[in-house]
Amino acid sequence: MGGQVSKQVQRRKAIKTEKKTLWDLQKSSGTNFPGSDYRPADRKNWMWGLNPDKIHLNQLVWPGTHDSATNKIGVPCVTRPFAQCQSLSIYNQLVRGTRVLDIRVKKDRHVCHGPLSTYSIDVVIKDIKKFVSETEAEIIILEVRTEYGHEDPPEFEKYLLDQLGDLLIHQDDHVLGKTIAELLPKRIICVWKPRKAPQPKAGGALWSAGYLKDNWIDTDLPSTKFDSNLKHLSEQPALSSRKFFYRVENTVTPQPDNPVVCVKPVTRRIHGFARLFISKCVAQGCVDKLQILSTDFIDEDFVDACVGVTYARIEGKA
């Protein structure tokens, strides 16, 4: 018992130290970067506002959400705090400016996060279609994967094709070098990651797992995650030659051996440091490799930071 208490004391000290490390870094380094003062006039249509004829996909910094469809997961005030990573619906996330969605499913086609489940994937698709119908040039990356510990939904590739059909941007190694205007009226890059079912075929309407990569680490320590994100990003190929999407997750993960296991108080340890991360990317010379930046509980400032870097790239400032 005494050993366990001592371990928890050390854990709390480590978390406190790491939070202070990031606050001190932000105080000394600041959060300015090329485009940091840019604010899109309309977040719902921010790609349109930057001119679809001018923006190449490899210039975008895509704002993404982690475990996107968890706003109604579990039982409110009972199990929900342990799995909820977003408070907004998929539609409202897209309106806010999100352009990369992370959807986890299980055998019955319901969205889940670990053992907890929520509404059907149909709800996600309906929200996406509604948003697409209301906008003209917003491109969405939709990642759908079978959650760890669950079985693939039967005939799910066919389901995605039937539901999204004409909206899908087919897999093509040259897509990242194209402008948004060249891809329209197609609107969705759909990455399907089954656990055991066959991966989507090259050149097809769906993209396979290798086209959306990250280097996620399982930690609740904010500075550790921050430094890991910088390290792995710096090791990626340049955007000009990259044939896949690379995601950095500005999140930390509750740990079972820690008293605090609810998502929101844990992820807050890093949530407010997205602009600091971008500024450090600039300082370390790897901002030109930043492509997808995702977060829990997405807010307007996070979206503005990503769009700001995109704007600076278009203007030749980043």
CB atoms within 10 A of CB 187: 24
Using a pLDDT cut of 90, give the percent of the chain over it. 94
Q: Is pLDDT at 3 greater than 90 in this prediction? A: no
Residue 318 or residue 196, greater confidence: 196
DSSP string, 73-110: -SSTTTTGGGT---SS-HHHHHHHT--EEEEEE-TTSE
What pLDDT was estimated at residue 168? 98
Instruction: State both tokens at 68.
Output: 């996107």
pLDDT tens across 89-99, in order?
A: 999 999 999 99
Cis-peptide, bond into residue 63, ω within 30° of zero: no
What pLDDT was estimated at residue 256? 87
What pLDDT was estimated at residue 237? 95
What pLDDT was estimated at residue 318? 85
What pLDDT was estimated at residue 8? 81
Instruction: State both tokens at 12.
Output: 């709390």
Strand partners for 63 = 293
pLDDT tens across 26-66, in order?
A: 999 999 999 999 999 999 999 999 999 999 999 999 999 99
Q: What angle do CA 129, 95, 85 make, to 5 degrees?
A: 95
Strand partners for 213 = 246
pLDDT tens across 187-244, in order?
A: 999 999 999 999 999 999 999 999 999 999 999 999 999 999 999 999 999 999 999 9
Question: Taking all residues of the chain, what is their mean pLDDT, rounded to a whole number?
Answer: 96
pLDDT tens across 9-18, in order?
A: 888 899 999 9
Q: Is pLDDT at 1 greater than 60 in this prediction? A: no
CB neighbour class for 242 (10 Å; exposed up to 12, middle 13-18, buried from 19):
middle
CB atoms within 10 A of CB 67: 24
Q: How does residue 6 score in pLDDT terms, banded at 50, 70 and 90?
A: confident
Q: Is pLDDT at 259 greater than 90 in this prediction? A: no
What pLDDT was estimated at residue 5? 66
Report pTM.
0.97
